[in-house]
Amino acid sequence: MTLFLRLFFSAVLLLLATGFVQAQTSGWVRASHLKAELVSDHQDLKPGQRFKLALHFIPDEHWHTYWQNPGDSGLATSIDWILPDGVTAGAIQWPAPMAIAVPPLVNYGFEGPTILVSELTVPATYKNSQLVIKAKVDWLVCKEVCIPAEASFELNLPVTQTAIEARDYKKLFEQASQKQARPVSLQGRYDVQNQKFSAVVQMPEDLKVSAFFVAAAELVDHAAPQEIEWVDGELLLRQQKNTYFSQAPARFELVLNTLAGPVLLQLQHEGVPLAPELSLADFSLLDWLGMLVLAAVGGLILNLMPCVFPVLSLKALSLVNSKNSAQNTKAEALWYSAGVIISFVLLAAVLLIFRAVGQAAGWGFQLQNPLIVGLLAYLLFVLGLSLSGVMQLGIGWMSSGQQFTQQQGHKGSFFTGVLAVVVASPCTAPFMGTALGYAATQPALAALAIFAALGFGMALPFLLLAWWPGFAAMLPKPGLWMEKLKQWLAYPLYLSAVWLLWVYGRQQGLDAMALALVGLVLLGVACWLWGQQQLQQAGQVSRLIALLFVAGSVALLWYPQSAAQNLTQTDHAEVWSEQRLKQLVQDGQPVLVNMTADWCITCLVNERVALNTDSSKAAMALYKLKYLKGDWTNKDPAISSYLRQFQRDGVPLYVLYWPGQPPEILPQILTPDSLRQALEQLSSKQPLITSQ
């Protein structure tokens, strides 16, 4: 009997222990080439407590899953939590990734057992005795083939007045902590310019960084060489920009591999040349003096603009013919110059304010947002049309300026200078562009000086007239040459608009650029109607139609891109469908079916090195091969059903149909000659018969 009681109590203890273990884990869920479980670091919880859950992956040997930025292909693991009211879950605490190279591409991910930790919080007001946690997890596991999968997990944890750690899984969470990059309080900034990603981090050189991983997707070309060097005590990182780069994030995480282990820091986008701060010691004095001279020359040339010269010539004549003393004449010239220079300095102040805001949100964002790039191209095009005489900008302001020139005294002179700058603004783009671009990257005092020089150049003729009355005889007379000069100056604006549209096309694709060009035509019609209305050759209806054309041109910049853009990149492929395949096979056509996905690195490599090559295209043309391509990037039941026909649960899958032969499955890893060799073998068995 004693032996029986011992066995009974041992069995009860074993069952209790098993129950505790089961409460801490969801149990293993098995999928293709991977098993997973959800584990808690506590077996009992209490209200107001924080605890951790670990998604524990064990893939088959040589299979891998992906980091938050999967690299050139792949798909990051995602967790969709289903939690009781008040319970919250933080973001995944990712392990440090490794580079998985499949030339010519590189991915970021994990081989072997992987632990993804998330921190959850139980509210202090939680009343239930049990905490039921559910999670739906999506992942992608790859080797030569990529298999997407999803599974549901559930944990039921007791909620008591004490919190008890799960000792059985303590080592698992310690391993997770060891594999995570160590957060450090380092300052890092980055920019994307001249087709390159560049980052600078203030950190000691003895850490010996060997590689870096950016968490932002589609920012860098992951397969491009990484440049790592120390410059003036700062770590400088460079890598080629990603082909699909569209917009720089305000901030993201960066992992650095060092001799002391991986470290994690935040990079913030600045979009200005990477320097500690803008100060007077950060620019070349010689360059700055040269820019001052160019700015003054640009301001001087502004006086020759047709929208400015008539107003200024009237004021100049009033100064020359004035019966006031030489002292009063000089005073009026000085007040006019003050109006011009102060106006330009105010413009500089506005620039500095925008720059300060831009530094907080990422200065330089304006050329990384496709919509803003398109709008800038439109603006320069409209300014060019104004210079070409299609319509006139600033006519109302010019009339106001003429009224102010009739006023005597310091007030009239000052506001003539102010309005001269306002009237000149539509004509300033060819001259202010260089000064604006230079001042945008300079310290505040240097930028203010550049714009003051621009104003001084514009005011210089008046100063010369006041101090040297004989200078009036040297002034050019108004005439047709002024209009010709203005028209010639339109072409630099058109070229700038072309450049901006090229940038827009690189960001959004050829189809989007074509739509933007259509918008440019609509904008041209609108400006022509505006010009007709200014000449009083058209009524209010034309103005309304012009506004509609403007709205239409801007709307084209918002037009959504095709969701099937990735398929159009391969112009010799048709979109796969079961009906199209059956039709081609019934017609006796040889067919190649390519089942692919954007997250499948093997698929992308095969297409680059074996399918989208000139030799493969020539072989397809020689054997009159039809090429069908199915995109499984998003779940498609039809493609899933087709894969199951060949006992496959992932991509890539290449099936070659030849008349009179059963379908032949090509290897998952293709060589440049794989397709040609397969076609030659099939043709030798069953020559292709074509109708004459």
Q: Phi and psi dihedrals of 154, rounded to 5?
A: -145, 135
Tokens of 652: 């890539």
What is the pLDDT, as a whole number, of residue 18? Answer: 41
Question: Which residue type occupies 691?
Answer: S
What is the pLDDT, as a whole number, of residue 337? Answer: 78
Within 632-674, strands assigned E span 653-657, 664-665
- Residues 259-285: what's their mean pLDDT? 64
Q: Give percent of the chain above pLDDT 70.
A: 68
Residues 440, 443, 446, 451, CA torsion sign:
positive
Residues 171, 175, 176, 180, CA torsion sign:
positive
pLDDT tens sequence across 562-599: 333 443 344 578 999 999 999 999 999 999 999 998 77
With 0-12 / 13-18 / 19 or more C-beta atoms within 10 angstroms meaning exposed / middle / buried, residue 72 is buried
Tell me which range, 276-290, 417-431, 468-482, is most confidently predicted by mean pLDDT: 468-482
Which residues have CB under 8 Å from 218's CB, separation 6+? 242, 244, 245, 246
What is the β-pairing status of strands 78-82 and 29-31?
Answer: unpaired
Given a cut of 50, is residue 272 above it in pLDDT?
Answer: no
Q: Are 465 and 316 in contact (CB under 8 A)?
A: yes
What is the β-pairing status of strands 626-631 and 574-575?
Answer: parallel
Tell me which range, 21-30, 321-330, 542-551, 583-592, is most confidently predicted by mean pLDDT: 583-592
Among 304, 310, 311, residue whose Cα is nearest residue 407: 311
The secondary structure element, H or E, covering residue 38 is strand 34-40
Q: What is d(CA 174, CA 151) in angstroms, rounded to the nearest whole number?
A: 25
pTM equals 0.53
- Residues 658-669: what's their mean pLDDT? 90
Residues 610, 614, 619, 621, CA torsion sign:
positive
Tell me which range, 25-29, 283-287, 492-496, is most confidently predicted by mean pLDDT: 25-29
Among 584, 680, 659, residue whose Cα is nearest residue 627: 584
Q: What is d(CA 318, CA 406) in angstroms, rounded to the nearest whole number?
A: 8
Tell me which range, 37-51, 495-509, 630-644, is most confidently predicted by mean pLDDT: 37-51
Which residues have CB under 8 Å from 621's CB, separation 6+? none
Q: Are 69 and 91 in contact (CB under 8 A)?
A: no
DSSP string, 353-389: HHHHHHHHH-TTGGGTSHHHHHHHHHHHHHHHHHHTT
**Tokens 């409460």, located at residue:** 23
More confidently predicted of 232 and 319? 232
More confidently predicted of 229 and 534? 229
Instruction: Determine how many CB atoms are found less than 10 A away from the CB of residue 38.
Output: 26
Lowest mean pLDDT among 118-122, 152-156, 488-492: 488-492
Q: Give percent of the chain above pLDDT 90.
A: 29
- Residues 180-199: what's their mean pLDDT? 86
- Residues 615-634: what's their mean pLDDT? 88
Q: Are 88 and 46 in contact (CB under 8 A)?
A: no
- Residues 77-101: what's their mean pLDDT? 94
What is the pLDDT, as a whole number, of residue 20? Answer: 43
pLDDT tens sequence across 510-560: 677 778 888 788 888 888 887 777 767 555 555 666 667 667 666 666 653
What is the pLDDT, as a whole number, of residue 633? Answer: 76
Identify the band that residue 124 occupies on the pLDDT scale cut at 50, 70 and 90.
very high
Within 60-210, strands assigned E span 64-71, 78-82, 88-89, 98-102, 105-111, 114-121, 130-142, 146-158, 164-165, 182-183, 188-193, 196-201
Helices first, then strands: H and E counts in the chain: 20, 26
What is the pLDDT, as a whole number, of residue 568? Answer: 39
Lowest mean pLDDT among 8-22, 218-232, 304-318, 392-406: 8-22
What is the pLDDT, as a whole number, of residue 304? Answer: 63
Q: What is d(CA 497, CA 520) in angstroms, rounded to the nearest whole number?
A: 10
Q: Are 202 and 231 in contact (CB under 8 A)?
A: no
Within 263-367, strands assigned E span 263-269
Q: What is d(CA 21, CA 641) in angstroms, rounded to the nearest whole number?
A: 39
Residues in the chain: 692
Lowest mean pLDDT among 140-149, 361-370, 600-609: 361-370
Lowest mean pLDDT among 337-341, 547-551, 657-661: 547-551
Q: What is d(CA 518, CA 408) in angstroms, rounded to the nearest whole number?
A: 50
Residues 652, 654, 655, 657, CA torsion sign:
positive
Tell me which range, 56-65, 266-275, 496-505, 526-535, is most confidently predicted by mean pLDDT: 56-65
More confidently predicted of 24 and 582? 582
Peptide bond into 687 cis (omega under 30): no
pLDDT tens sequence across 443-482: 777 778 888 887 888 778 777 776 766 555 565 565 666 5
Question: Which residue type occupies 545?
Answer: I
Q: Are 122 and 51 in contact (CB under 8 A)?
A: yes
More confidently predicted of 428 and 596? 596
Identify the band that residue 423 occupies on the pLDDT scale cut at 50, 70 and 90.
low
Q: Are 254 and 212 in contact (CB under 8 A)?
A: yes
What is the pLDDT, as a whole number, of residue 55? Answer: 96
Angle ∠(300,301,303) on CA atoms, nearest 5: 80
Which residues have CB under 8 Å from 432's CB, separation 6+? 298, 454
With 0-12 / 13-18 / 19 or more C-beta atoms within 10 angstroms meaning exposed / middle / buried, residue 106 is middle
Q: DSSP class of residue 470?
A: G
pLDDT tens sequence across 161-173: 888 888 889 999 9
Among 666, 682, 672, 658, residue whose Cα is nearest residue 594: 666
Tokens of 295: 């700015």
Average pLDDT over the chain, rounded to an integer: 77
Among 31, 67, 224, 143, residue whose Cα is nearest residue 603: 143
Helix, strand, coil abundance in the chain, percent, nearest 5:
45, 25, 30
- Residues 288-307: what's their mean pLDDT? 70
Q: What is d(CA 137, CA 34) in angstroms, rounded to the nearest whole number?
A: 13
What is the pLDDT, as a whole number, of residue 369? Answer: 60
Peptide bond into 273 cis (omega under 30): no
Lowest mean pLDDT among 346-350, 477-481, 644-648: 477-481
What is the pLDDT, as a whole number, of residue 282? Answer: 44
What is the pLDDT, as a whole number, of residue 343? Answer: 80
